[in-house]
Structures are given as C-alpha cells and as structure tokens.
Amino acid sequence: MESCIEGVIEIPLKIIEDDRGAVMHMLRADSKYFTVFGEVYFSQVNPGVIKGWKRHRHMTQRFAVPVGKIKIVIYDDRKTSRTNGKISEFVLGRPDAYRLLIIPPMVWYSFKGMFDIPSILANCSDLPHDPNETDQIELKSISTPNQW
C-alpha cells in the first residue's frame, strides 16, 4: 500500500503467536518488496527519544518494529517527486501496528520511541551502511505538524 509519499510503502506483516511466544515475519527473498540484500541492523530507540532528520542518497530501507512502538515521520523534498513538500506519519510496532515500511532513497525521515520501554527498529536495507551516502540535518530544519 503506497502512502501519500511517492515510493513509500507500508505493508501489514504476519505474526504467528501461541502460548509459547511469537514468530514475526519481516521480509522474504521471494517477496516483490525484496530487491537485494545489503545488511540487517537493529536500532534501539529509548522512550521519548527522537532520531533524525536523516536521508540516504542511494539506500532503500525496510523498517519493522518487533519490540515497542515507534512513530516515523517522512518528508519528501525531492524536486521531481509528485509528492514534493508532503509529510506522512506512521506508527509501527506490536501488537496492533506490526508492518513493513519501505523508505526509498532521498526521502527525509525521523522517528521517536513511543513506548515506556526501549523499542527496537529492524532495518533490512538494500546496501551496507555507508556514512558517505547519508545526509543529516537538525530536527528544527524541517517544519512538521507535530513539531517533534
């Protein structure tokens, strides 16, 4: 399901749960949303902490939140995008918002821990992390409705 930001896609994910625990699917090699493997990493986001603004020039990111809840705000300032100037907000996490969020290159994002314990954001990117292809700016640099 494409969001109001061109190229950003949000997909519900499957959880198989019983009294022993849960298996949480994120991404398979045979999914139409998988292109190539770069790396998988996990980012801990403490309650109330905001990370961002950040964008990758070449990397596509695939986020899921298996522990806690995280609010992600995405801003599109790509001049050639049909959604230039738009902002979208997503809340990811369990139990009611376990989803895959795909963020294309050149889109700004920031996120905030929304749970009372540290949340875990999983990223299955299509490139290994390279700090030279990443841009970062201060939170106040982009005006959003929630103003973080």
Domain residue extents for the chain: 9-15+23-133
Polymer length in residues for the chain: 148
Instruction: Output the pLDDT for position 145.
Output: 73
Is the pLDDT at 2 greater than 80? The verdict is: no
Alpha-carbon 104 to chain mean position: 10
**1 falls in which pLDDT band (50, 70, 90)?**
low
Instruction: State mean pLDDT over 10-29.
Output: 95
pLDDT band with cut points at 50, 70 and 90 for residue 143: confident
Collapsed DSSP state (helix, strand, coil) of residue 75: strand
Q: How confident is the model at residue 41 (pLDDT cuts 50, 70, 90)?
A: very high
Cα dihedral sign for 48, 94, 102, 124?
Answer: positive
Q: Is the pLDDT of residue 7 over 80?
A: yes
Find out whether 128 and 39 touch, Cβ atoms under 8 Å: yes
pTM of the model: 0.93
pLDDT of the residue at 142 = 85
Phi, psi of 124 (to 5 degrees): -110, 90
Q: Is the pLDDT of residue 3 over 70?
A: no
Find out whether 38 and 127 touch, Cβ atoms under 8 Å.
yes
Q: What percent of the chain has pLDDT over 90?
A: 89
| pLDDT on residue 136 | 96
As a CATH number, domain 9-15+23-133 is 2.60.120.10
| 72 contacts 65 by C-beta, under 8 angstroms | no
pLDDT tens-digit map of 54-107: 999 999 999 999 999 999 999 999 999 999 999 999 999 998 999 999 999 999
- The answer to whether the beta carbons of residues 74 and 108 sit under 8 Å apart is yes
Q: Tell me: pLDDT of 121 over 90.
A: yes
In the chain, the amino acid numbered 70 is I
